[in-house]
Amino acid sequence: MASNPDRKMLLVAFLQASNCSNYTGSWRHPDTVPGFLDLEFYQGIAATLERGRFHLAFIDDRLAMPDRFGDSFEEAVEHGVRVVKLDLVPIITAMGLATKHLGLGATYSTTYYPPFHVARLFASLDHFTKGRVAWNVVTSLNDSEAQNFGVAEHLEHDDRYDVADEFMQATSELWDSWEDGAVLLDKQTGRFADPAKVHRINHSGESFQVRGPLTVPRSPQGHPVLIQAGQSPRGREFAARWGELLFVIYPTPEGCKAYRDDLRSRAEAAGRDPDSVRVAPAVYVVVGETEEEAQRKLEHIESLANQTDSLTLLSEVFNYDFSQHRVDEPLSDEILASMTGLRGFLDRVIGLSGTSNPSVTDFIKASGRGTLSEFPVFVGTPAQVADQLGSWFQAEACDGFVLAATHMPGAYEDFVNLVVPELQRRGLFREEYANGSLRNNLGFARP
Ligand SMILES: Cc1cc2nc3c(=O)[nH]c(=O)nc-3n(C[C@H](O)[C@H](O)[C@H](O)COP(=O)(O)O)c2cc1C
C-alpha cells in the first residue's frame, strides 16, 4: 500500500512532574537542571516544545512512591527513583500560560478519583487553555497507591477496567450535561443560561452514583482528548472504546504495527472511525552533530543506570516485591499470577525472555525498566535519527512518537534544535500549528 505523502507525524513529549524522567539515571546527568520545584522549569520545557511545534506535552503520574521493593521507600528515596510527583494541575496550568498552541496532557486515575471531580477539573482546564487539554486515563498499578487512598489492596486488573468503563460513561455524560450554547448572559432579560439546555445525568451504576449536572459549561473541545495505553486484551477493549491517542511500548515496528492494526479494527468494530485512534510508541532519542558525538552521549547516559533502580521500578509496576528472590531464580506460575500490576507488560517479559518462568534477571533484561532499553533508542546525527523515526512512521507502524527524556530538559532541546528541522525538511512533520484546539491539531472531531 502506497503511504499518503501528506500524512504528518504526531510528536508528544513524555514528561514527569520532577527532574527524574522515565530513565532514572536522568537526574544524575550533568546537564539535568535541578529546578523541578519551580514553575519556570515546566514553563521553559513548554516553550521549547512549542518552538518545536510538538502536538502535546503529557505528564505521567503515580499516586505513591515506588516502595514495593523490600517493602520500603529507602532505596527509592536514596537514589531518587521517581519519588517526586508534584500535582499536575498547577503545572499544566502554568505551562498553558507560557504557550498558545501546545497541547497539555495530565494523567488521572479512574480508580482513586471520583468522576465528578475529574470531569470538572478537565472541563475547567479546557476553558482556561482554550481547548488544549488531554487526559491520560489510567487505572493505576499497585497496593502502595491503594494505601494512600485508604484502601488495603489495589483492585484486580480486569475489575479496574470495568470500573473505568463506568467512570468514562459518567464523565462523558457530565461533560455533555451542558449543551453548547446554554450560556446566555442576557442582562436585559436577566437570563444567565437556558435551563432547558442543562441536564441531570442521573448516573446510577455498580461503582458510581452521580446526579449532575456538572458545574462547568461545555468546554471548547467538548471532551478533553483522551489518551490511553491499554495493552492487555481487557486494556485494548477499553482503549478501542474510549481512547483517541494510544501510547504504547514496542521494541520493533512490526509489533507496533500489529497493535495499531488491531486497535484500528477494534475501534471500527465498536462503531468508531479507525482514524479516530492514533498510536504513538515511546522512544528515546540521542542526537549529536556527528555520529561519534551521539555515541559518546549515549555511552555517558547509559553509564548513569543502576540495577537497584530497575528492581525498585519492577516491584512498583508489577505490584510485587522482587527483593524476595535471588536474581537467577525462575519465578513460579503462582508468583506470576499474583502480579496484579501491568498485565500487558508481564506478557511482554514472558514473550521476550523466551521462558514461561522468567527469573529476576530475565525481568530486568526483557523489561528494560530503569535502563534506556525500556523503549527503542534512536541514536545518531539528525539525519540518522530522522531515518529511524521515518521508517517506523512510513511503514504505518505508528502515527507518531512519545519522546521520553534521557535528561531534563536537554533531551527536548536537542530534539527541537536538531531533529525537528530535519523532519520538517523531509515533509514528515508540520511547519506550523493549525488554528484552534488540540483536537483540531490532531485532526479529531469534536464530540
Ligand atoms: C507511554 C505510557 C505512559 C503511561 N503512563 C502511565 C501513568 O502515568 N500512570 C499509570 O498509572 N500508568 C501509566 N501507563 C500504564 C498504562 O496505563 C497501562 O496500564 C499499561 O500500558 C498496561 O496496560 P494494561 O493495563 O492493559 O495491562 C503508561 C503506559 C505507557 C505505554
Q: How far is the CA of 221 from the centre of ligand 1 (A)?
A: 24
Which residue, judged by its Cα, is nearest atom 1 of ligand 1?
247
User: Using a 6 Å cutoff on CB, does residue 61 contact ligand 1?
Assistant: yes
Q: Ligand 1 pocket, 282 CB below 6 A?
A: yes
Mutate to test the pocket of ligand 1, among 112, 241, 247 (most ligand atoms within 8 A of CB): 247
Measure the CA–CA gap between 139 and 118, rounded to whole angstroms. Answer: 13
For 133, the enclosing helix (H) or strand (E) is: strand 133-138
Residue pointed to by grid coordinates 527524574: 20
- For residue 439, the model assigns a pLDDT of 97
Q: Is the CB of 232 under 6 A from ligand 1?
A: yes
Superfamily of domain 10-295+375-442 in CATH is Luciferase-like domain (3.20.20.30)
Pairing label, strands 377-380, 278-287: parallel
Residue of the nearest CA to atom 31 in ligand 1? 248
Cα–Cα distance measured from residue 392 to residue 225, given in angstroms and rounded to the nearest whole number: 24
CA 75 to ligand 1 center in whole angstroms: 23
At 6 the pLDDT is 87
Q: What is the distance in A from the centroid of ligand 1 to the CA of 229? A: 5
CA 272 / ligand 1 centre spacing (Å): 23
Atom of ligand 1 nearest to the CA of 232: 26
Whether ligand 1 lies within 6 angstroms of the CB of 402 is answered as: yes
pLDDT of residue 3: 61
Q: Ligand 1 center to residue 244 CA distance, Å?
A: 15
Burial class (CB in 10 A: 0-12, 13-18, 19+), 336: middle
What is the DSSP annotation of 247-265?
Answer: EE--SSHHHHHHHHHHHHH
Say which residues have a Cβ less than 8 Å from residue 220's Cβ, sequence separation at least 6.
Answer: 126, 127, 130, 131, 437
Q: Which residues contact 435 (CB under 8 A, 6 or more apart)?
A: none
Return the amino acid letter for 127: H
The residues near 335 (Cβ < 8 Å, ≥ 6 apart) are: 320
Domain regions of the chain by residue span: 10-295+375-442, 306-370
Q: What per-residue confidence (pLDDT) applies to 237?
A: 97
Single-letter residue type at 192:
F
Query: Which atom from ligand 1 is nearest to the alpha carbon of 343?
Result: 27
Cα(223) to centroid(ligand 1), Å: 21
First to last CA, the chain: 31
Q: Quote the ligand 1 centre to 402 CA distance (angstroms).
A: 13
Confirm if 44 and 1 have CB atoms less than 8 A apart.
no
Atom of ligand 1 at shortest range from CA of 248: 31
63: Cβ contacts below 8 Å, ≥ 6 apart? 85, 109, 112, 140, 145, 148, 149
Residue 374 is given by DSSP the state G
Nearest protein CA to atom 11 of ligand 1, as residue: 140
Residue 341's pLDDT is: 74
Yes or no: say if 232 and 347 are a contact pair by the CB < 8 Å rule. Answer: yes
Angle at which helices 307-318 and 343-353 pack, to 10 degrees? Answer: 130
Which residue reads 502480579 in cell numbers? 339
- The x, y and z cell numbers of residue 130, run together, are 482554550
342 in contact with ligand 1, CB cutoff 6 A: yes
Q: Which residue has the cell 559518546?
A: 296
Q: What is the DSSP code (8-state) at residue 99?
A: -
Atom of ligand 1 nearest to the CA of 342: 27
Q: Are 403 and 11 in contact (CB under 8 A)?
A: yes
DSSP structural state of residue 86: -
Q: What pLDDT is stored for residue 1 in this prediction?
A: 46
d(CA 52, CA 162): 39
Cα 244-403-319 angle, rounded to 5 deg: 75
Q: Is the dihedral of CA 342, 253, 255, 245 positive or negative?
A: positive
Q: 32, 410 in Cβ contact below 8 A?
A: yes
Measured torsion, CA atoms of residues 58, 175, 126, 18, in degrees rounded to the nearest 10: -30
Q: Is 107 in the pocket of ligand 1 (CB under 6 A)?
A: yes
Partners of 238 in the β-ladder: none
Q: What distance in angstroms lies between residue 214's CA and the mean position of ligand 1's atoms? A: 28
Give the DSSP letter string of 27-41. Answer: GGSTT--S-TTSHHH
Establish whether residue 362 lines the binding site of ligand 1, counting it when its CB lies within 6 angstroms of any ligand atom: no
Determine whether the shortest distance from the Cβ of 341 to ligand 1 is under 6 A: no
Dump the DSSP string for 156-189: PHHHHHHHHHHHHHHHHHHHTSB-TT-EEEETTT
In whole angstroms, give the CA distance from residue 157 to residue 263.
20
pLDDT in tens, the chain (447 residues): 456 778 999 999 999 999 999 999 999 999 999 999 999 999 999 999 999 999 999 999 999 999 999 999 999 999 999 999 999 999 999 999 999 999 999 999 999 999 999 999 999 999 999 999 999 999 998 899 999 999 988 889 899 999 999 999 999 999 999 999 999 999 999 999 999 999 999 999 999 999 999 999 999 999 999 999 999 999 999 999 999 999 999 999 999 999 999 999 999 999 999 999 999 999 999 999 999 999 999 999 999 999 999 999 999 999 899 999 999 999 999 999 998 777 778 888 999 999 999 999 999 999 999 999 999 999 999 999 999 999 999 999 999 999 999 999 999 999 999 999 999 999 999 999 998 999 999 999 999
Residue for grid cell 471548547: 220
